[in-house]
Structures are given as structure tokens and as C-alpha cells.
Structure 1
Amino acid sequence: MTKNNDLTESPDGLVYTARLPLSSATLNYLATLIRGHCKKIGSRWRALPAGKIAGIVLAVLRCDQRPGDLAGGNGVHRTTVTRWVREAVGLLAARAPRLDRALKKIARSGGGVVLLDGSLIRTRRRTGTENRKNYSGKSKCHGLLVIALTDDKGRLLWVSAARPGRTSEITACRHDHLTDRLRKAGLGAIADLGFVGLDDSGPDADPAVITGYKAARNRPLTRGQKLSNKALAAVRAPVEHGFAHLKNWRVLGKVRTDPKWATALVRALLVLTNREVSR
């Protein structure tokens, strides 16, 4: 009997093809951005064409594919793929809507309210002094807090900068002067009980942020307050759909890169999400 010690696979490894659950319009849009950027900076040569680069970037963002695996299958280096992803994220994030413009657009279209909510994007556990500020006591994990606005149908309008997980939702909104900008645009926002106390306007002013009622230990909710909370929960339910569409991009399952890059990443995914949803 002869003993065979040969490898079951070739030295270069196996290469397989997979299908991305994205439209060709999204691929063409990103490829057009990359071609325009290359022309602007005078980059006359790339290892792969713009369409292929766009496909690799979308595979990283949508399926959280490892850049090293994609690099091996396309004959480039891992750092090249990482550079392409960073470049594409920067191009997309620059096209994300600003808060003032998003609110003015809703006001011009005749809308009266927007939906407000926050979500935690999980990250790796940091070391040293960076560890504690990213820990969310509410979610019991490390992450970054993101505030988002959607319309009454759950379409994402704007996302805030990614802040450490220990930041409260009210603090994040006050940092962006959200209530002042809502009043300036003539809009109101509907939010959950986590935003109670955000709108500290006078009793005679119209509220910019509408929330439900919280029960206290010695003050249970009345029947009318319970019905009001139920009605508000039904109205603000579409905001969860907006976050669900955003988190379909598996790269947000756990951010493994520098948290400072997370803001550009989330805003880039906002642009791609809106194109996919509007399609």
C-alpha cells in the first residue's frame, strides 16, 4: 500500500463564486463613483477595472467578507482591497444627506413629523482607557451609538456621528442640536421612552419631540396614558424597519476597525441603503 501525502487542494487555495443580494444599479452607481474619482485624481491605472473593484467593495460591506480572502481570489494584495474599501466608503459618505437639508426636504414635501430612534453598533472590546467609554450599560456590550431619523414610512433620512456606547441617546441628540433644528424646519419628531426629557421647552411651546408616558414606582399609568403609548408605538414602528435595512449590511454586525471610521461607514451604508430601498 502506498501512502499519499499530497495536499487535497492546490497551493494557491480554492476560489469560488458567490451571489450578492444587491441590484446591478447599485453596482453601477458605485463603479461610476470610482471611475470619476480615478479621473479626478489622475489615476490612470488600477489592478482591476472599476466594476470589479465595486463588486469587491460591496462584498466586504454586504457580506462582511475578509479582504484577505477576496484579495487571494482576485490576484491582488490584502492591503489593496482594504484601500479600495476605504476609498469607496469615503466617496459614499460624502454624498450622505446633512441634517438641515434632510429636514428641509421633508418640510417641502408636506411632511409634518419624522421618526427618531437610536441603535447600538457592536464593536470589538477595546483595551486600556478606550475600553470603558465604549461599553453600553443598557445593552451590556461594547459598541457605538448612532441616532437616525426616518420618515413616516421608515425610509432613512439622516444618521448622526457614531459616538461611544456609554453616551445616552438624549446627550447625542443635544450634541447635534436636534430640537432646535426641528423647530427651525417646522417639524416634530416621534420617539420612544428613551428620549423622555429631550424636549425641555416651555409649557406654552409646541413640543418638538413627542414621547410616551413613563410609569413610576408609586405612580402607575392610567388607562388613557396606556392607550396613548400604544398609539405612539404603532406610529413609530416604521423606524425599526429603517434600522433593519441598514443592518442588513453585515459589516455592521461587529465593527472590527477603528471606531473613528465608523461614522463614515454608517453614512456610506445609508446612501447604499436608500438606493436599494428606493429601487
Structure 2
Amino acid sequence: MIAYRAILDVPRELVQHVARLLRAERRRVGTRPGTRTLTCFHQALLVLVWFRKGEDKTTLGAGFGVSRATAYRYVAEAVRVLAARAPTLHDALRRVADQDWSHVILDGKLFHTDRLAETTTSVKGETIDAWYSGKHRDFGANIQAVTRPDGLPIWTSDAMPGHLHDLTCAQHLNITAALYWAASELRLPTLADSAYEGAGLGIHTPYKQPADGRRLAVDNRTYNAALRSMRCLGERGFAILTGRWRTLRHSTASPRQIGDIVRAALHLTHFEYRYLPHSC
């Protein structure tokens, strides 16, 4: 292999922030000084290179003078530490309400993965690939996200198998229950697309076109236009994450780990957008 100089386009403050979290984790588990190949700062740098560029961990480890196994271990440790700093859904909703935002936006996205052999039984009783999405015609994990009205993601979910519908994932993860609470207790309604039709009170979805081909009533078309104009910024949430952190675009890790990886990227995004709570 040939080494070369490169520049990582993240602020030095972010590297130092991640290094502080890793240093606290080493103290927590009782790591003795001088027993790690890389310092906390250089481990943080390695992890941010992986998030930002999505490099193969073998090549990434060689660039930092560590083995492939060590690179995997360093990245996994950092993902676990960063994901643990992400807010809970109730805390995220309460914070948005305290900042006087008018609503939040719910959306789902398939995060692409390599082909998987895990199977499950469909509602029709057929054996299907658990992580294959017929809608996207690809393998991946379904991640749900809640964003502010301006598109900044404030919370992301655990990974769910790609064959599941967005509404099914939201119900299984108790997201709809939390959004009902926000609508009733915090006066914070949720806007969503037609994939969440029937989600319940407080979660507003567009009216669907009648099956018999008739046009929607003018009031319903006006409602859909207004909803679409406010909800469209929610699409920006996943774009912020995948555009900034290239490793999210395709994963070779276990799909069940994608939820933690996305939460870790969310924490990094909140740091760059100065959205971390004061306790961080």
C-alpha cells in the first residue's frame, strides 16, 4: 500500500469533542494508559474519516498503522459511544416544543445494505427476504426520523427490516404513541406523507385520490397543497445525514447495527449544527 497526505473536511472542534467522549469511555471501562495503539484524538480522527468518506476499514486501518481488526473495534466502540449520546424521542419532541416550533415531520428511509439471507413470513404466508424492500427493489434497513420544520433531524429510530411498511415500523417502535403524546400534551402536531395514512390523531397525512378516478374536492386539494409545502422540508433531514456522512449511503455491517450508526451520525450532525444540549 502507498500512503498519501489528505485533508478531512470536519472542524477540529468535532475531533476534539469525539476524543473527549472516547477518553471518558476508556476511563469508564478501566483502560490502562499506554495500552491502546492510537490516542483518543487519533481514534476520533479515524472514526470521522470512516463516517465522512466511508472507506474500507482494512485500508483505513493501514492508513493509521493499525490492523483491520483494530480498525473495526475502534469504529464499533465510537459508534456505540456516539449513539448513546443521541436524545430519546420524548426529549427531542419536548425540546422542539420548548423552542416554539409549530410542528414536526415524520419520514422513513431505506438505508441500503449488502444482500442478506435472513427470511421471514409475509402477511400472505409466503417466505420472503426480511431485509428486501419491494418498493425500492433493494436490500436495506428501514429507519424512521423526526425532523424540525426547517428539516434538521432531531431523532432517528432503531433499524427495522426493509420489507416492512413505514407505518408498521412507526407503530412497532411506539413512535406513533410518542407523537400522539406530543400532539395532545405539547400541542405539537406531526406532518407525514401518505405512507402513514391511518396513523391516528395528531399525525396529519394527505387525502388520497379517489379510486374511481374522481378529482378530490377543492378543500381537500388545498389541504394537500398546504401540507405538501410544509412537509417537503422534512425530506431534507435524511439528505443532511447521508450527504454529510458518506458511510450511510451503503452499509456492509449487520443491518441491525444501522440504527446505532445513524444515531451516531445524528450526534455528529447536532454538534456541527450547534444543536447539542448544554450537558454535552
The TM-score range, normalised by the shorter chain, is 0.7 to 0.9
CA contact 2:242–2:248 (8 Å) conserved in 1: yes
| 1:85-96 aligned within 5 A | 85-96=75-86
Pair 1:38-2:35 in alignment: no
Mapped partners of 1:70, 1:145: distance in 2 = 28
TM-score when scaled to structure 1?
0.88
TM-score when scaled to structure 2?
0.88
Q: Aligned partner of 1:34: which letter?
A: L
Aligned-pair distance for 1:128? 5.3
Moved more, 114-123 or 43-52: 43-52
Mapped partners of 2:262, 2:221: distance in 1 = 35
Residue matched to 1:276: 272
1:141 aligned to which of 93, 115, 138: 138
Q: Percent identity, please.
A: 34
Q: Deviations over 1:229-258 (max 9, x none)?
A: 222111012211111111121111111011
Mapped partners of 1:133, 1:220: distance in 2 = 37
SS of match in other structure, 1:119:
strand
Residue matched to 1:4: none
**For the structure 1 residues 194 and 29, does the alpha-carbon distance in structure 2 shift closer, same or farther, using more than 3 Å as the test?**
same
Mapped partners of 1:65, 1:35: distance in 2 = 24
Residue matched to 2:158: 161
Aligned-pair distance for 1:221? 1.9
Q: Structure 2: which 5+ runs fail to align?
A: 121-127, 276-280
SS of match in other structure, 2:141:
strand
| 1:199-238 aligned within 5 A | 199=200, 207-218=201-212, 219-238=214-233
Residue matched to 1:28: 16
**For the structure 1 residues 132 and 51, does the alpha-carbon distance in structure 2 shift closer, same or farther, using more than 3 Å as the test?**
same
Aligned-pair distance for 1:111? 2.9
CA contact 1:135–1:165 (8 Å) conserved in 2: yes
Residue matched to 1:83: 73
Mapped partners of 2:100, 2:62: distance in 1 = 51
CA contact 2:118–2:130 (8 Å) conserved in 1: no
Residue matched to 1:250: 246
SS of match in other structure, 1:237:
helix
CA contact 2:171–2:177 (8 Å) conserved in 1: no
Runs of 4+ in 1 over 3 A off after TM superposition: none
Moved more, 30-39 or 127-136: 127-136
Mapped partners of 2:238, 2:26: distance in 1 = 32
Aligned-pair distance for 1:106? 1.9
Superposed CA RMSD: 1.7
Aligned-pair distance for 1:278? 2.9
Point out the structure with max Rg over C-alpha.
1
CA contact 1:179–1:208 (8 Å) conserved in 2: no
Aligned-pair distance for 1:213? 1.0
Mapped partners of 2:12, 2:218: distance in 1 = 51
Aligned-pair distance for 1:140? 1.3
